[in-house]
Amino acid sequence: MIRLGVNVDHVATIRQARGGREPDPVTAAHEAELGGADQITVHLREDRRHIQDRDLRLLRQTVQTPLNLELAVSDEVIAIALDVRPEQVTLVPERREEVTTEGGLDVVSGLAAVRAATARFTAARVAVSLFIDPEPAQVEAARESGATHVELHTGQFALARRPDEVAHEVERLRRAGARAHDLGLHLALGHGLDYRNVLQVRDLPHVAEMNIGHSIVSRAVYVGLREAVREMKRLLA
């Protein structure tokens, strides 16, 4: 069964819109777990636009499932991550002007920096995943960096509309996923997955985990977060 990581950043985005106390991503993580989340995922951005340091520290103390912290390859947030020690970190690219994470981490060009960051986390016994575009060269560079996990960026797939484009993107994910499996890397998918498009990638071989945020939090507005997570879990079963 595919493990579901629920990304609660979007709950913090609503809170930050008013700068107050609600909704609280810590409470949301608890609700997500009651709905069957297998992991809680948050992104501590350098600009702190949604998740705050306080959220991360409280989540570290309260979540019952593994905590997956997304972060940029940047000394400031790496130091925080090493202090908080989540079960897993996912290294992602970050550009301040982007609305959300737009492309995968370019491990091919940034291998030295990724390798150095990976070594620091590995020494602290924190598992390292790299969020990369579904390209065999990126998967190979991920393996060279010492990371043990990759999360293939499904954003292009999620944006594809014409059936031939969708088929092309699914094939890219299949190929990159097969390469990751051959190299002994744990395989995850994430970004832009929703209650419809997930049906087209849930049967890809070797996928062990999906990290999903926006669609689940959006559905939670209507049905509540616990139920929204339950529904996604049913689709992955």
Binds ligand PXP by CB under 6 A, chosen from 39, 65, 88, 101: 101
Helices 225-236 and 214-223: crossing angle in degrees, nearest 10, is: 130
Give every CB contact of residue 36 below 8 A, 6+ residues apart in sequence.
Answer: 4, 229, 230, 233
Please confirm, yes or no, whether 231 is among the known catalytic residues.
no
- Our CB check for ligand PXP shows the closer of 65 and 101 to be 101
Q: Closest separation between CB of residue 68 and ligand PXP, Å?
A: 9
Structure tokens at 79: 């130091």
Q: How many alpha carbons lie under 13 Å from residue 224 in its C-beta half-sphere?
A: 9
Contact stretch for ligand PXP (CB under 6 A) within 59-67, 81-89, 206-214, 226-234: 206-214
Please confirm, yes or no, whether 191 is among the known catalytic residues.
yes
7 binds ligand PXP (CB under 6 A): yes
214 binds ligand PXP (CB under 6 A): yes
x/- letters, 218..237, toward ligand PXP (CB under 6 A): --------------------
Binds ligand PXP by CB under 6 A, chosen from 90, 118, 145, 200: 90
Please confirm, yes or no, whether 76 is among the known catalytic residues.
no
| Residue ranges in 16-55 that form contacts with ligand PXP under rule CB under 6 A | 43
Identify the active-site residue in 43, 50, 149, 186. Answer: 43
Residues that bind ligand PXP (CB under 6 A): 7, 9, 43, 70, 90, 92, 100-101, 131, 151, 190-193, 211-215
